[in-house]
Amino acid sequence: MEHTRYETLANRLAELIRGGTFTAGDRMPSVRQSSREHRVSISTVIEAYRRLEDTGLIEARPRSGYYVKAPSLPAARLPTIATHAKKPVHIGGASLFEALMDTVADPAVIPFAAAAPDDSMIPRAKLASISNAIFRKHGGAALRYTLPPGRRELRVAVSKRLLGAGIKASPDEIITTHGATEALLLALRATTRRGDLVAVETPTYFGILHLLRDLGLRAIEIPVSPREGLLVDAFESALRKHRVAACVVQPDFHNPIGGVMPPAAKERLARLSGQHGFTIIEDDVYGELSHEGVRNSSISLYGGRVIHIGAISKTLAPGLRVGWVVPGPHFAEIKRLKNIQCPWNATLSELMVAEFLEAGGYDRHLRRIRQLYAVQCARMRQAVIEAFPDTCRVNQPQGGFVLWIEMPVGFDAEHFAVKAMEQRISLVPGPVFSASGGLRNCFRLSCGFAFNDRTLDAVRLLGKLAGK
Amino acid sequence: MEHTRYETLANRLAELIRGGTFTAGDRMPSVRQSSREHRVSISTVIEAYRRLEDTGLIEARPRSGYYVKAPSLPAARLPTIATHAKKPVHIGGASLFEALMDTVADPAVIPFAAAAPDDSMIPRAKLASISNAIFRKHGGAALRYTLPPGRRELRVAVSKRLLGAGIKASPDEIITTHGATEALLLALRATTRRGDLVAVETPTYFGILHLLRDLGLRAIEIPVSPREGLLVDAFESALRKHRVAACVVQPDFHNPIGGVMPPAAKERLARLSGQHGFTIIEDDVYGELSHEGVRNSSISLYGGRVIHIGAISKTLAPGLRVGWVVPGPHFAEIKRLKNIQCPWNATLSELMVAEFLEAGGYDRHLRRIRQLYAVQCARMRQAVIEAFPDTCRVNQPQGGFVLWIEMPVGFDAEHFAVKAMEQRISLVPGPVFSASGGLRNCFRLSCGFAFNDRTLDAVRLLGKLAGK
């Protein structure tokens, strides 16, 4: 009976997955291939794959095929979150941070600290041929000064990409920047004054905290969920007590915790911005790196005063230093500030990115690296779960490529980072991601780099250091 | 008699120069060529050329030949200078500035406002082949993040170049930056606090003034001579009355006035730095652009606390955005600040510049563009002298490529700039170069661009607008 056949196949495949033939993140053989290999009909394979999907062993990804899922932990083993904002703080220093950064480029160190794509994921052949074409087309003009708002070719290309997030910004409403960090700096400077209070997520990308401290701004920490991003309830309570000038948020595939704000939460946040008169600084650097291939809408779609920020550092090539900001009503002020502090952009970089976005197969490239990131995250996550004590909690990112690991209270992540560095493994301890220096029992592992035996050994060594 | 023969030749050549066959900045025919053309001996030509040199019509340049000199004005027609520093000021705004910058990239506008090399002077073919070689050699690594202090390849190459200015800095004592502006920003931030007093030259490069205002610093204006740069006497008097945290100085081929500080003045300035405890921020962006091919010594050679700044924006390619800073005792603080504000450099740019400096024929390239700049300056200067009222004063730059023109008191350079812009000619009015908004009767014309009939027509039109 056909019924039995697909069950038999499903069971056989399940055994192969549990036995490690197919491991977390692997693409399953295509339906056609399985049909040949197992000598069953196409429809039998389809039924078997559906069965495996129902039992949670594999998952379908649109236009890509079936993938082995990472072992799912019970909800109780996702990182915990606070429910309320803390008191405003002046941001503390992070002495360990610079030492960490100094080692990231050392090839002898396993770079779990670096949230960057693997060199092999950068489409260098295509970019090299684009670079040649630009020299041929523009001659010396490819290397002249580019003044704010940046090369029009790039602003046109970015304008088209932004449509994917529901943002309708004309090229004249976009300013290109030297990566997303400059865009964040300009956005903060345009919307705050020294001493102002800025709402930041906890945990959040450390670069945001460094900028806040440098600008003499105070922070109020809003908890972030590993599933749903910024806790709008907690933020709303805090807004009743505090006047906030700006709120820096990573709504999609949050670094480091991986959460994604549901549309309703984005809408509420936009409404709060209008009611309380603060600017939302939307850091969308990971927005195009969904593992499932979805592209969510910008908060600006729901209204509110939003400065949108993007870059190609995580998707194409960090070393080109190309980002952008859609400043909305702050356009003139951000352009003025850029003219002062970092007035001229790298012209060749801007032209290369413009051409890649327009005609370099960016969507195809994105599909490829999203899948790689998904595989690398899944493998790393499985390795962590196996190597670390059962008391550890791990996020399950739906996009991007960083893992957030929470150990029991009392665990000292800074001490752990130092011990790991002695073993030539870098990672970023939790306090670096917290305005108040909290999150001492947490740390971040980047999965941007290809997962291989060396990576696996490093995770196992970390597990031992963590007390397994 | 041989004596008569060289005088006859000298007179004939002098007529050709006065008649316009050879014009200011032109290279004279080689000695061999003149010998052939005029059917006289080599030694006769040499004698004739010496005679022309004595009368000030031509000048010898080492390893390059003889050039027609720009018409020299009596000393009374060089721009005037104040003799004393003024009172400290908060730096005023310059509303015209942004409008000017917006038009610089417009191909319909004659860009006398832009201090940049002509596109044709950028060695694009060589840089394109270097870019290819880098992609071949480094693969994706050519586009990964580069953290401070920057790519070692570049720091090694810069370290070698700095020897030319007498600076012995190891690669580990150099931090690469996103152009010289970032280096200036970092140097100011490392040596001052909000409200501090900084000595600046008047006139000075406007970017320095924008940074000072943005950082909440006050300025004390020290006069600069079109011949000898910063007036150390005036500065020393000011130091008796005021405590200065830093002094920003362009000792060689000053932008916009072209002065060069003699070694004795550099030595005195270095000594004052030690006595009064301020940091010298040495902006050496034009240091390699002597028209004569000389390379002067850095102030740091004479002691004192010096932060040295350089870049390839004026010598190689502005759009690569590559500069550097030798921070001396401020190394750690400047690296810390760079990690916050603009943490990652454009890797491809750094590798391209490193390779060009090491093996791209940089010295040969410099010889070529120095001569071009010298010719362009001389032609533009002659055109200005002919087109403008006799009351105008013009500097005679020994390097770089900007002219500083002083009109009689009462002339309104800002109004003049607006009128010029209506005729699609950009230029920068004097007040943009002054912390106190002075220099209202002066303006700057850049000679970075190839001098041609369109340029000449534009200068003549400016002359008419200026009342000739």
Question: What ipTM does the predicted assembly reach?
Answer: 0.87
Q: Classify domain B126-362 by CATH number.
A: 3.40.640.10
The verdict on a CB contact (< 8 Å) between B132 and A132 is yes
- Ranges under pLDDT 70 in chain A: 1-3, 71-76, 93-95
CA B152 distance to own-chain centroid: 27
Tell me the nearest-neighbour CA distance from A434 into chain B, angstroms: 16
Residue A200 contacts B where some CB pair is shorter than 8 Å: no
The verdict on a CB contact (< 8 Å) between B124 and A135 is yes
The rounded distance, in Å, linking the Cα atoms of A100 and A444 is 13
**For residue range A56-67, what is the model confidence (pLDDT) as tens digits?**
889 888 777 888
Contacts of B73 by beta carbon, 8 Å cutoff, 6+ apart? B385, B393, B394, B396
User: In the prediction, which pLDDT does A266 show?
Assistant: 98
Residue A139's closest chain B neighbor by CA? B124
State the virtual CA torsion across A365, A368, A372, A375 in degrees, nearest 10. Answer: 150
The verdict on a CB contact (< 8 Å) between A319 and B98 is no
Domain A77-84+91-120+364-465, second-level architecture: Alpha-Beta Complex (3.90)
**For residue range B162-199, what is the model confidence (pLDDT) as tens digits?**
999 999 999 999 999 999 999 999 999 999 999 999 99
The rounded distance, in Å, linking the Cα atoms of B446 and B377 is 8
- Identify all chain A residues contacting B121, using CB atoms and an 8 Å cutoff: 140
Give the pair of three-digit tokens for residue A458: 């490093």
Residue A319's closest chain B neighbor by CA? B143
Using DSSP, state whether A295 is helix, strand or coil: coil
Residue B84 clears pLDDT 80, i.e. is over it: yes
Instruction: Count other C-beta atoms under 10 Å from residue A162's C-beta.
Output: 21
Instruction: Tell me which fold the domain B90-120+364-465 belongs to.
Output: Aspartate Aminotransferase, domain 1 (3.90.1150)
**For residue range B131-155, what is the model confidence (pLDDT) as tens digits?**
999 999 999 999 999 999 999 999 9
**For residue range B392-431, what is the model confidence (pLDDT) as tens digits?**
999 999 999 999 999 999 999 999 999 999 999 999 999 9
Question: For residues A218 and A196, is the Cβ–Cβ distance under 8 A?
Answer: yes
Q: Which of residues 111-130 of A touch B (CB under 8 A)?
A: 114, 116, 118-122, 124-125, 127-128
Q: Which of A132, A146, A341 sits opposite B319 (nearest CB)?
A: A146
Whether the ω angle into residue A62 lies within 30 degrees of 0, i.e. cis, is no
Q: In the beta sheet, which residues pair with residue A246?
A: A198, A279
Alpha carbons within 13 A on the beta-carbon side of B392: 25
User: In the prediction, which pLDDT does B2 show?
Assistant: 46
Which residue of A145, A175, A178, A339 is the best one to mutate when testing the B interface, meaning the one whose CB has the most B CBs within 10 A?
A: A145
Q: Which CATH class, in words, describes the domain spanning B2-68? A: mainly alpha
The rounded distance, in Å, linking the Cα atoms of A181 and B338 is 11
Nearest CA to B377 among B314, B318, B445? Answer: B445
Residue A65 contacts B where some CB pair is shorter than 8 Å: no
The verdict on a CB contact (< 8 Å) between B342 and A140 is no
CA-based R_g, chain B, Å = 23
The verdict on a CB contact (< 8 Å) between A346 and B344 is no
User: In the prediction, which pLDDT does B59 show?
Assistant: 87
- Identify all chain B residues contacting A319, using CB atoms and an 8 Å cutoff: 142-146, 344-348
Residue A321's closest chain B neighbor by CA? B346
Domains in chain B: boundaries: 2-68, 90-120+364-465, 126-362
What pLDDT band is residue B160 in, cutting at 50, 70 and 90? very high
The rounded distance, in Å, linking the Cα atoms of A239 and A88 is 12
Which residue of A341, A350, A365 is the best one to mutate when testing the B interface, meaning the one whose CB has the most B CBs within 10 A?
A: A341
Tell me the nearest-neighbour CA distance from A319 into chain B, angstroms: 4
Residue B336's closest chain A neighbor by CA? A98
Which residue of A109, A144, A214, A426 is the best one to mutate when testing the B interface, meaning the one whose CB has the most B CBs within 10 A?
A: A144
Residue B435 contacts A where some CB pair is shorter than 8 Å: no
User: In the prediction, which pLDDT does B1 show?
Assistant: 45
Give the pair of three-digit tokens for residue A190: 């345009």
The verdict on a CB contact (< 8 Å) between B116 and A145 is yes
Which residue of A321, A336, A338, A352 is the best one to mutate when testing the B interface, meaning the one whose CB has the most B CBs within 10 A?
A: A321
Q: Which of residues 310-329 of A touch B (CB under 8 A)?
A: 313, 317-321
Residue A142 contacts B where some CB pair is shorter than 8 Å: yes
User: In the prediction, which pLDDT does B329 show?
Assistant: 94
Q: Which of A102, A210, A318 sits opposite B144 (nearest CB)?
A: A318
Domain A123-362, second-level architecture: 3-Layer(aba) Sandwich (3.40)
The rounded distance, in Å, linking the Cα atoms of B216 and B207 is 14
Residue B62 clears pLDDT 90, i.e. is over it: no
Question: For residues B419 and B277, is the Cβ–Cβ distance under 8 A?
Answer: no
The verdict on a CB contact (< 8 Å) between A143 and B124 is yes
Question: For residues B346 and A321, is the Cβ–Cβ distance under 8 A?
Answer: yes
Using DSSP, state whether A133 is helix, strand or coil: helix
The rounded distance, in Å, linking the Cα atoms of A290 and A300 is 19
